Structure 1
Amino acid sequence: MSSPHSSSNIGISIAPKVGLQASDILGSHFDSVEDAQLWYNNYARMIGLGVRKDDMRRRKKSGRITIRRWVCHFKGVRHERQSENCRRVREPQPLKRTGCRASFRVNYDESVGKYIAKEFRPEHNHHLASNNEVHLIHSHQKVTDAELTQAKALRHVGVKTCQFMDYMADQVEGPQNLRFTRKDMQNTLDASTRAEVGDSDSDTTIAYFAAKFEHDPGLCFEYTLDDENRLQNLFWADCVARYDYQCFGDVLAFDATYKTNAYHKPLVTLVEINYYFRTTVFGFALLAEETIDSYAWLLQTFLSTMGNRKPVSVITDGDKAMWKAIKTVFTGCIHRLCCWHLERNA
């Protein structure tokens, strides 16, 4: 084990082992936050401890992380108000957190251009997971690149997730030896699919709308990008949809499919029934997620596209995020629930 004040990367040169003290780690250097997290997660896995992220501070101008802290997943305690709530409908979940103070923190030092370990508390006040239990802790559930490649190959030939999960479990002599659950594998596959189709298809879609706008000045499309410059939300409506809204826009109905497309994004269709009892489409949107902010952005963009003319009534399902966004953006409008959803829920 190298000196704790060595300038080498502790994530590589120092192997995590049981029995480390604060003096062994404080002052050690890491090249990046990822290296620090990798080292602490490996250390925690070896001793049977779960890890979760805690405090993080970032410079506004450069965006560089200056402080990053990790704590035990048993940190904190349940508030007394939650346990003493007599109006609780459901039974409270069993107590898991024990107020454990095990933690690890690094600070960025500009003089050396590295992250320095400033806090390391190895003490814990709870049972540590055994080698047969540690893979069940969330922070240690991870799908490796090799496992992901194998799963994608099996999925490509039509093998279902549950089937290749059984196959992988047989390879390691039982599901208890897998470092991930079926949900972890599904989430990793979904993320990989979004990364593969997201960038090229997003650029193609925006280029398509830009080209259509040259031939149809009445076309309107708006989009937002996330922190990694990837497509987040997208709304579009052509000149026919905008004209129809001026004629039949007294009542607006919209609903979101539940991520049934290849991009796993909610598709929102804004429609209404015209005087001839035919469905009239006023616009479409692909949202990053079904949240209040996403729906508020959609409604504000829709209003701007339609000349800030609000509908008299709005019909939706029982989604709470929709309801709060309507209340914020469509002030004064009458909000009603769809009778089909009411009958289905009943």
Structure 2
Amino acid sequence: MEDPADFDLDHISLFEEGSTSIPTNDNIMDILDSSVPAVGMSFDSAEDVRTFYREYGIKMGFGTRIQSSKKGKDNEIRYFMLVCSREGKYVFPLPSELMTLPTQTNECQARISVAKKDSKWYIMSVIYEHSHDLSPTKSRLFCGNRKISLSAKRTLDLNDDARVRVNKSFRSLVGAAGGYENLSFVECDVRNFLSQHRRALGKDGDGQTLLSHFSRMRELNRDFFFEIDIDDENHIRNVLWADARSRTACEHFGDIVSFDTTYLTNKYDMPFAPFVGVNHHGQSILLGCGLLSSEDTDTFIWLFKCWLRCMSYKAPFGIATDQCRAMKNVVAVVFPETRHKWCLWHIMKKIPEKLAANQDYKNMKHQMKVVVYESMTLVEFECNWEKFITSFGLTHNEWLTTIYEEL
């Protein structure tokens, strides 16, 4: 970080997306403490700015987050704003008399705005005042400030390998630090770290074993396909593979595909995601398999694109999945011409959860199954569904209405 006391900020512009005012030398404060943000401070990277303001927030007693950012013509971020975590106004959906906790946002205006000029990042404006009390002794535990040190991660990793329970590992770290007040994380962070770490297939040499196995399969049959997604630490995040039989089957029976992630492995708790079709005998056939580190949009996009490439870019006419919104968005992106339907098994599984509160639940459940499983044509289903909805007074049931409209 450089001292901007003598720096001429008149030459810094906020580009075409910038603010309505540009700071000048007249509003540059004398910096007595380099840990306090001031107009004109420069940094080598955006991450340096975020780290600096986060540490300042910990010292003063507030949390921080990014409130907005803007890109330049090169599609790279050129400007962003860091604000107090209590910025904004949140309207709680419940009436005040039913609220157990008050809202945590206070329309706080404390913030800094940062812009990039050439290869440097400069603080363009600063607001110091907060609209709430600060908590320097607790700020390390605010959501954006919690962080597990490298030494603590190493200890947790060793304890996990030795099958030490998470709560005992956390208490050992508390004892080594001299108390809870000296830790910058809580037990929930430890559990999240270990959960993510267990999913890394690079652990215990399993990643290398998997790669070696796939390589041997490729040597035995050149049509064996596999793709591996690796993170920044060279841990395997996601895997897709399909043998020659699956790729051939997809050419003949890949028109309609079912994709499900409800299967889990025991050791890593990673979703096992098979692509399944149906052959001319009505039998299920495997068209590809995946192991996923998470079930978010980016992961599904990676998996679906790899599978599409594996199947010679032959997209299915229809695909059935569970009611995952992330998956729905991905299907629209990767398979824009494919008809997306929800899996019937997942829908029927939710009947007890959605309809059990009704007095005539047992009869209602039976009648719904009759409508779904015994309607042979579209016209017959429409007629039976209308009778079912009307007879049980379910016209305004949000779940049934949503399902009908979506399908």
Q: TM-score, normalised by structure 1?
A: 0.71
Q: Where does structure 1 lack aligned partners over 5 or more consecutive residues? A: 8-12
Compared CA separation, residues 196 and 214, structure 1 to 2 (3 A):
closer
**CA deviation map 1:210-251 (0-9, x unaligned):** 664465343334566779998665432222112334555465
Q: Distance in 1 between matches of 2:67 and 2:248?
A: 51
Aligned to 1:49: 62
Aligned letter for 2:113? R
Deviates more, 1:186-195 or 1:44-53: 186-195
CA distance in 1, matches of 2:152, 2:225: 43
Cα deviation 1:104-162 (Å, max 9, x = unaligned): 2333343xx5433222211111121251x323311221111222222222222221111
Partners of 2:338 and 2:284 lie apart in 1 by 25
Matches of 2:41 and 2:72, distance apart in 1: 22
Contact in 1 for aligned 2:199/2:237 (Cα 8 Å): no
In the TM superposition, what are the counterparts of 1:122-271 in structure 2 within 5 Å?
122-131=128-137, 133-172=138-177, 174-191=179-196, 197=202, 209=214, 212-213=217-218, 215-222=220-227, 233-246=238-251, 248-249=253-254, 251-257=256-262, 260=265, 265-271=270-276
Report if aligned partners of 2:225, 2:241 keep a CA contact under 8 Å in 1: yes
Cα contact 2:114–2:124 (8 A) shared by 1: yes
Identity %: 25
Contact 1:141/1:180 (<8 A) preserved: yes
State the secondary structure of the residue aligned to 2:49. helix
Distance change (3 Å), C-alpha of 1:72 and 1:262: farther
Q: Compared with structure 1, are the counterparts of its residues 279 and 71 closer, same or farther at alpha carbon in structure 2 (3 Å cutoff)?
A: same
Larger radius of gyration: 2
Alignment counterpart, residue 317 of structure 1, candidates 312, 316, 322: 322
1:91/1:222 CA distance change after superposition, 3 Å: farther
Counterpart pick for 2:105 among 81, 97, 103: 97
Matched, 1:5 2:5: yes
Tell me which of the two structures has the higher relative contact order, counting C-alpha pairs closer than 8 angstroms and 6 or more residues apart: 1
Deviation of 1:300 (Å): 5.4
Letter in 2 for 1:337: C
Q: Give the alignment of 1:19-58 within 5 angstroms.
A: 25-57=38-70
Residue in 2 that maps onto 1:75? 87
- SS for the counterpart of 1:38 is helix
1:98/1:254 Cα in 2 relative to 1: closer, same or farther (>3 Å)?
same
Is the 8 Å Cα contact of residues 246 and 286 (structure 2) preserved in structure 1? yes
**Please, which moves more after superposition, 120-129 or 185-194?**
185-194
**How many residues of Structure 1 are paired with residues of Structure 2 in the alignment?**
323
The structural deviation recorded for 1:252 is 3.1
Moved more, 289-298 or 113-122: 289-298
Q: 3-state DSSP class of the match of 1:52?
A: strand
Q: Give yes or no for contact 2:54–2:64 (8 Å, CA) kept in 1.
A: yes
* Structure 1 residues 126 and 158: alpha-carbon distance in aligned structure 2, compared to 1, 3 A threshold: same
TM-score w.r.t. length of structure 2: 0.62
